[in-house]
Structure formats: C-alpha cells, structure tokens
Amino acid sequence: MIRLGYARVSDVSQSHDLQMDALRQAGCQHIYVETASGSRADRPELRKLLDAVQPGSQVICWRLDRMARSLRHLIDMAETLRQREVGLISLTEGIDTSTTSGRFLFHVLGSLAEMEREIIVERTKAGLRAAAARGRRGGRPPSMNEAQVRAAKAMLRSGEMTAAEVAAQLGISPSTLYRHVPGGRGNLEQAA
C-alpha cells in the first residue's frame, strides 16, 4: 500500500517540521510539501499529490485543515478519493475514510456543513425581510441622487454642455449619466 503525505504551512515564516516528522512516522513513502495559504485553490503540490494517487493508496495529512480550503472542499476531496478507492487519513483527528467509522464521520461533517449553509441563508433572508419592513433595502446606493439627475437634465437642456462635460461636472462617468437619464447615448440631449 502506497502512503502519500501532504504537509502545508501558510507562509515561509512557518516550519513544516512537525508535520514532516509525523508523516514520516506514519510511514509515508513520499511527502508533498507546500507553502501556500489554505484558501488558495491553486496549490500545485496538492494537485501533484491528487494526480499521483492510485487505487488502494492512502493520502495522509497531519490535520484536515492542512488539506482543504473549506469543509465543503474537504468533503468533496474525500468523496473524489473514495471514488478512486483511495483513503484519506488525518493523524491529529484520528480519521481514516477507508474505515466505516471514518466514512460515517465524514457524512456527519458534511451534514453539519450543509445545515450551517442553510442556516446562514435563512438568517440572511430574514434580515433582508426585516430591513425591507423598516423601509431599507440592500445593495449598492445609486450613483446619482434625484438632485443630481435634475441638475444633469437642466445642464443638458441648456445645450451648452455635452454629456461627457455634464458627467465630468457631476463627478460621474458618462455611462452612469446614461443609466440615470433616459434616452440612451444617441438621443440623450432630446430626452432631457
């Protein structure tokens, strides 16, 4: 059975030594060593490790947070490895997905992650409804207020300024002016 290790630290000021010692003691024949933030999706050593696994091999990490950037990513990775008949072992947490109890624990973690996401969505919707009931709405504030729209229309009606000059005067881009004053680029002055 091939045992492949993965060690990761977030930046060069940290040391891989603790992880490397544990992975060697666990019998890893090859250890992929990475220095990268866990939130990065493009981790070349992790990609090499996943490309190197074969059915019956095991991927070993010191802790699960060293492997994945989120719980969802970890669960997806564990499922991909399972489909390829590869076990995932975390030395610190004592999890081994090649065992029945290890797979069960992963399902529990997956269910908790899904429940957490759903609770966040529910809270967000409830917060938006409560804010709307108080007359507030979310999103970015408009780029132009009513006074600016009136001023822009007046400047355009005078015929002394181009749309670009009106936009510069108001401190906005011409495209913002076009969005707030009906008529589009071709007939902006007539629509004002």
What is the total residue count of the chain? 192
| 42 contacts: CB under 8 Å, gap ≥ 6 | none
CA distance 150 to 169: 13
CA distance 115 to 71: 12
119 touches 90 (CB < 8 A): no
Active-site annotation holds for 10: yes
Going by C-alpha positions, the residue among 165, 160, 157 that lies closest to residue 183 is 157
CA distance 182 to 179: 7
32 touches 77 (CB < 8 A): no
Annotated catalytic residue within 10, 39, 57, 101? 10
**Backbone φ, ψ for residue 131 (5° rounding):** -65, -40
Q: Which active-site residues does the annotation give?
A: 10
